[in-house]
């Protein structure tokens, strides 16, 4: 038996001020030191899950048979920090993240950590069955029409609406003026145009819009995956900087934390973060809702079938909230790349763009803090996926699915992800399968790249140094009419939230877009706007001159 009180350390003052914890006992079993060494590579699938890995702090509950060494080391840093109580639970889709491993769940009575929530605050899923519509009724022409209309109406990748969607201002007012309003910091951020123009946009990376069908009944569903867009990213980076500053003033060596900066829940800064994080969750919910309404309208127009909202599911997987953890214990549970799986709670666990998803029902297992995975999890970084997966292999894996198997999306190929069925098997004690959904139509964001000479490789994610330069490039290139020569430049600022956090960690310089390489079906009349913020004015001048010269040739 591991006694909870023996596995967390915190200052007496902080403990005295805590309002959200009572101590309890947690039953566990442990691995031998030899098994721990094995775990850096692979643990036998004959062993019962979760695997219990002792640390110098709280134990790790690993719901998986393998985990990359860097991710495991990252989890150990968390487990040996003052943040968690009881244990740290790690989902079978876990992989390296910024500050804290993606697929990690822990509870705390004292601290909150912005990077333990993640940069895409409130990112989540929505799934809606279409009443009376079945897979055999959807002809290929229907699927092509649905995909094209989705791409025309929902901006993806680094795109945004040039004019806000109807009702956007009302939504923002409602979520800002409720009983838990945002801080003055966030209210200032809301003045940025992208807050309104990004509501109802997808983003890139692993975000998607799909039409799927249930493998037994063949009923068609709509599904989507997206989050809080740039505003969530800005809030996460701001409070990570605040937390790091607080720790530095206390003499804590933040270098050893490697991005896992935390602050007391009861501090003003901690309360401010929780307020602004809650606002971003609501924004993410309404972002998904706006896209969902567009998708359902498209489905109605193409198929003349409406949604069955009584069986719709909407969940999120990057957040922190105070929960009842049994026996009257109130703890702040942080889920990063994990979804709540309380007893009877419906959930969504997606795989890759070619493998489909599961609708699930939670079992309420406290050994995972009532949680399950948020997906299959990457087994290759984006760089490795591009290097190791051929375009032909990618295309074959997407056979039969109406999608854009574009080379720039190859890092999202099914081969880059863990096996979803294996992931589901490893968490069978956490959640049960209700529906297996298979893909028919897929839409993802394109993120094209400029030649390397135009990228800054030393730019750090979250440095806070915004460089406004693209308006100059925009008016120099677009205004004279160069767009008529199949070239477009767009302006504003970078949205790193559209990329996977694990990839930002490995390759922290966001790439720019050269719109001359946009997909052939790119809608030149769409409201999409692509943006970046990490090049100097001098580099922008070079870019403009080079583009003009190349277009004249």
Q: Would the pLDDT of 455 be above 80?
A: no
In tens, the pLDDT along 160-219 reads 998 999 999 999 999 998 878 999 999 999 999 999 999 999 999 899 999 999 999 999
Residue 224 and residue 362 share a domain: yes
Give the long-range contacts of residues 7-16, CB within 8 A, separation 24 or more: 7/57, 7/58, 7/59, 7/85, 7/86, 7/87, 8/57, 8/58, 8/82, 8/84, 8/85, 8/86, 9/57, 9/82, 10/82, 10/110, 10/111, 11/82, 14/110, 14/111, 14/264, 14/266, 15/109, 15/110
In whole angstroms, give the CA distance from residue 194 to residue 124.
Answer: 20
Residue ending a domain, among 443, 468, 500, is: 443
* Residue 321 within any structural domain of the chain: no
φ, ψ dihedrals at 132, nearest 5°: 75, 10
Phi-psi region of 501 (alpha: psi -120 to 50; beta: other; left: phi over 0): alpha
Residue 112 and residue 204 share a domain: no
In tens, the pLDDT along 4-63 reads 333 333 333 334 344 454 333 233 333 333 344 444 435 556 678 999 999 999 999 999
In tens, the pLDDT along 61-90 reads 999 998 999 999 999 999 999 999 999 999
Terminal C-alpha separation, the chain: 74
Residue 66 and residue 169 share a domain: no
227 DSSP β-pair partners: none
Residue ending a domain, among 59, 90, 117, is: 117
Residue 480 and residue 429 share a domain: no
* Residue 315 within any structural domain of the chain: no
Residue 479 and residue 422 share a domain: no
Which entry of 42, 374, 386, 406 is annotated as an active-site residue? 374
Residue 511 and residue 484 share a domain: yes
Residue 497 and residue 409 share a domain: no
Encode 183-198: b = buried (16+ Cβ within 10 Å), e = exposed.
bebbeebeeeebbbbb
φ, ψ dihedrals at 2, nearest 5°: -100, 120
Q: Are 276 and 233 contacting, i.e. CB atoms less than 8 angstroms apart?
A: no
Residue ending a domain, among 417, 443, 469, is: 443
Q: Are 1 and 30 contacting, i.e. CB atoms less than 8 angstroms apart?
A: no
Find the farthest-apart pair of alpha carbons in the chain and give their distance in angstroms, rounded: 74
3-state SS, residue 395 = helix
**pLDDT value of residue 180:** 83
Residue 221 and residue 170 share a domain: yes
In tens, the pLDDT along 141-152 reads 999 999 999 999
Q: H or E stretch including 266?
A: none
| Residue 185 Cα distances to 189, 234, 493, angstroms | 7, 11, 19
Q: 50: domain range?
A: 2-117
Residue 234 and residue 152 share a domain: yes
Q: Would the pLDDT of 475 be above 80?
A: no
Q: How confident is the model at residue 513 (pLDDT cuts 50, 70, 90)?
A: very low
Handedness of CA 178, 464, 381, 48 (dihedral sign): negative
* Residue 500 within any structural domain of the chain: yes
Residue 365 and residue 278 share a domain: yes
| Of 22-31, 330-339, 542-551, highest mean pLDDT | 330-339
Q: How confident is the model at residue 384 (pLDDT cuts 50, 70, 90)?
A: very high
* Residue 526 within any structural domain of the chain: yes
Please count the other Cβ atoms lying within 10 Å of the Cβ belonging to residue 119: 28
Q: Quick check: is 95 catalytic?
A: no
Assign residue 260 the CATH number of its domain.
3.90.1860.10
Residue 438 and residue 458 share a domain: no
**pLDDT value of residue 27:** 32
Q: Are 360 and 346 contacting, i.e. CB atoms less than 8 angstroms apart?
A: yes
Residue 487 and residue 407 share a domain: no
Specify the number of domains making up the chain: 3
């Amino acid at each position: 038996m591991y006694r909870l009180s023996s596995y967390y350390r915190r200052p007496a003052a902080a403990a005295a001020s805590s309002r959200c914890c009572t101590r309890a006992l947690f039953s566990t079993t442990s691995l031998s030191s030899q098994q721990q060494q094995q775990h850096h590579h692979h643990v036998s699938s004959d062993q019962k899950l979760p695997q219990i890995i002792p640390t110098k702090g709280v134990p790790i509950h690993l719901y998986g048979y393998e985990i990359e060494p860097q991710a495991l080391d990252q989890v150990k840093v968390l487990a040996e920090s003052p943040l968690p109580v009881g244990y740290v639970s790690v989902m079978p889709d876990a992989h390296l993240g910024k500050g804290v491993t993606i697929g990690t769940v822990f509870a705390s009575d004292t601290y909150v950590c912005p990077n333990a929530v993640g940069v895409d605050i409130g990112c989540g899923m929505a799934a809606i069955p279409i009443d009376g519509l079945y897979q055999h009724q959807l002809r290929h022409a229907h699927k092509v029409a649905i995909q094209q209309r989705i791409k025309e109406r929902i901006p993806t990748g680094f795109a945004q609406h040039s004019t806000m969607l109807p009702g956007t201002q009302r939504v923002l007012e409602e979520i800002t003026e409720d009983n838990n309003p945002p801080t003055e910091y966030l209210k200032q951020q809301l003045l940025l145009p992208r807050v309104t123009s990004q509501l109802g946009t997808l983003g890139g990376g692993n975000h998607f819009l799909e039409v799927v069908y249930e493998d037994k009944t063949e009923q068609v569903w709509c599904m989507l995956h997206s989050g809080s867009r740039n505003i969530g990213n800005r809030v996460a980076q701001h409070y990570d900087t605040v937390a790091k500053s607080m720790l530095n003033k206390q003499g804590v060596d933040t270098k050893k934390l490697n991005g896992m900066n935390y602050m007391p829940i009861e501090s003003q800064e901690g309360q401010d973060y929780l307020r602004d994080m809650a606002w971003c969750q609501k924004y993410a919910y309404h972002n998904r809702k706006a896209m969902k309404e567009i998708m359902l309208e498209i489905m109605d127009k193409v198929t003349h079938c409406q949604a069955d909202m009584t069986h719709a599911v909407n969940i999120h997987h990057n957040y922190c909230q105070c929960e009842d953890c049994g026996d009257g214990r109130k703890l702040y549970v942080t889920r990063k790349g994990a979804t709540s799986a309380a007893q009877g709670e419906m959930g969504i666990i997606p795989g890759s763009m070619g493998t489909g998803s599961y609708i699930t029902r939670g079992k309420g297992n406290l050994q995972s803090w009532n949680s399950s995975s948020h997906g299959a999890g990457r087994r290759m970084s984006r760089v490795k996926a591009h290097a190791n997966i051929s375009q032909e292999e990618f295309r074959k894996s997407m056979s039969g699915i109406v999608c854009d198997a574009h080379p720039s999306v190859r890092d999202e190929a099914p081969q880059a992800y863990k096996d979803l069925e294996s992931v589901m098997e490893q968490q069978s004690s956490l959640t049960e399968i209700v529906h297996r959904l298979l893909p028919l139509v897929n839409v993802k964001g394109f993120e094209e790249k400029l030649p390397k000479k135009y990228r800054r490789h030393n730019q750090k994610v979250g440095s806070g140094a915004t460089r406004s330069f693209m308006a100059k490039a925009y008016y120099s290139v677009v205004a004279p009419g160069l767009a008529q020569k199949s070239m477009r430049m767009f302006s504003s600022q970078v949205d790193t939230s559209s990329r996977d956090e694990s990839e930002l960690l490995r390759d922290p310089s966001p790439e720019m877009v050269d719109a001359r390489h946009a997909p052939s079906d790119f809608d030149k009349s769409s409201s999409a706007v692509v943006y970046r913020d990490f090049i100097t004015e001098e580099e922008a001048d070079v870019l403009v001159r080079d583009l003009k010269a190349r277009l004249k040739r």
